[in-house]
Structure 1
């Protein structure tokens, strides 16, 4: 294997930083437009092991924003299909595909506490809030994607603490739900300051017909912004992984890239 494919990454982060990236284990939860781009970027830059979590299947509407899916993948489980793609495109990155609905009952089984970082790319409210709460309580470093649908302005994408987000209906609801659980800040998120159309609210709190018995409300969107959100999440993760343990422990709020 020619590991010169990582040469640019190693030059950017330095030898020690890249070694930490190479030895890291990261979970990406939610493998749609945001999560798939985050996962592919992390693998292409040398992350050693990825836990890929999603209980949805690839659909035709996935194709305008997915980082890997092609028509032949329609009907396949997203986690399995993306894992197979990474095996061929990013050899050396170990992948584990998990098809599970994320909720309070299933979260402990994922073993997030043993990983170095997690990416929240879930687009449904209740599972998203439960994942964030769990990571905060267990001390799992996390970056969370807020709403990327109904937006097109790349200059409005930001990274910051969830307490400073604005013009994002999803972030507003997540903050409200987190406050009820005692979480008021210290959550790094990727969000957009572009005001969405008035009628565009947060997605409802249902997920996946197989589990909930009804489909989610699908929000419109072009594929560009979900991809940008995914790469922004990956940039936060790579920057943190490359830091020394002392630097990471000094980042108490965990929202500075």
Structure 2
């Protein structure tokens, strides 16, 4: 039995193969996905991709784990505080699927780093960045390169999981982040036909603390800037990430031909 067949027949993938079939699973195994942003949304997306059998995953995040991440981020444990999220993610993915080729990049997403993030023409980019400028830059350059992107809009300040939707960025409603992203992309003349997950639920603005939290990226002249602290549950952002991964799995395995 060759290595590919041996891999496909591993018991850990039996239930996935039963649902999507061996040929579609082979497509999944031969796929390359980049997850950018490893907070609550990106962490759960990467988790599901690893468990589904995606053969190559690049995980990208400049940040390190801090205690405030523990309420919602899958990589955040007391034992991982202070470690780079990308490195923790890579270790976990390797434990889930030792055959997965996983590449951690501890990079801040900005114009000069995006070519490295997108290197190798990945099959799908999952954008789970929560900062506006890096998100817009990744979406603009990724679509200019002809890449398929699945993007997360705002998941914080929300409670109602029934209001989570998946649609083109052009068709989103009631999401302040989606509106800003769309406006910035159009200003640049960039493609806005990007599949995204968003919520139609109004944000709970009263849960925003008006004091600015010092972003770890600003320490020592690093990238980033102070941002408002926004309330968030472990549930809604995690569901955003799982929906993004689900869409990716359907596209990669050939079960969904609607997203381009």
Q: Deviations over 1:221-241 (max 9, x none)?
A: 111001000000001100000
Q: Corresponding residue for 2:107?
A: 100
Instruction: Indicate the structure (1 or 2) with the bigger Cα radius of gyration.
Output: 2
| Alignment map for 1:49-198 (pairs within 5 Å) | 49-112=56-119, 114-183=121-190, 185-198=192-205
Offset at residue 183 of structure 1 (A):
2.8
**Matched-pair contact (CA < 8 Å) for 2:45–2:244:** yes
> Which consecutive residues of structure 1, in runs of 5 or more, have no partner in the other structure?
none
Post-superposition CA distance 1:206-248 (Å, at most 9, x none)? 972242364322211111001000000001100000118xx75
* 2:218 pairs with 1:209: yes
| Residue 225, structure 1, aligned to residue 232, structure 2 | no
Aligned positions, number: 246
> Structure 2: 5+ residue runs without aligned partners?
1-6
SS in 2 for 1:71: coil
| Conserved 8 A contact 1:37-1:231 | yes
User: Take 2:22 and 2:60, find their aligned partners in 1: how far apart are those partners?
Assistant: 30
TM-superposed CA distance for 1:111, in Å, is 3.3
Q: Secondary structure at the match of 1:87?
A: helix
Checking the alignment, whether the CA contact within 8 Å between 1:175 and 1:184 is kept in structure 2 is no
Alpha carbons 1:112, 1:140 under 8 Å: kept: no
User: Shift in Å at residue 92 of structure 1?
Assistant: 1.5
Q: 1:173-202, CA deviations, whole angstroms, 9 ceiling, x for partnerless residues?
A: 10110111113531000000111134679x
Instruction: Specify the alignment match of 2:253 in structure 1.
Output: 242
How far apart, CA to CA, are the structure 1 residues paired with 2:145 and 2:154?
Answer: 25
Name the Cα RMSD after superposition.
2.1
Give the Å deviation of 1:107. Answer: 0.5
> 1:34-85 CA distances to partner (integer Å, 9 max, x unpaired)?
0000000000010001100000000011111112321010000000011112
SS in 2 for 1:50: strand
Quick one: distance in 1 between partners of 2:133 and 2:83? 25
- Runs of 4+ in structure 1 deviating by more than 3 angstroms, as ranges, are 198-201
> TM-score, structure 2 length as denominator?
0.88
Q: TM-score, normalised by structure 1?
A: 0.89
Aligned-residue offset at 1:104: 1.2
Q: Whole-Å Cα distance in 1 between the matches of residues 14 and 188 of structure 2?
A: 44
Query: 1:131, 1:200 → 2: CA distance?
Result: 29
Secondary structure of the 1:139 match is coil
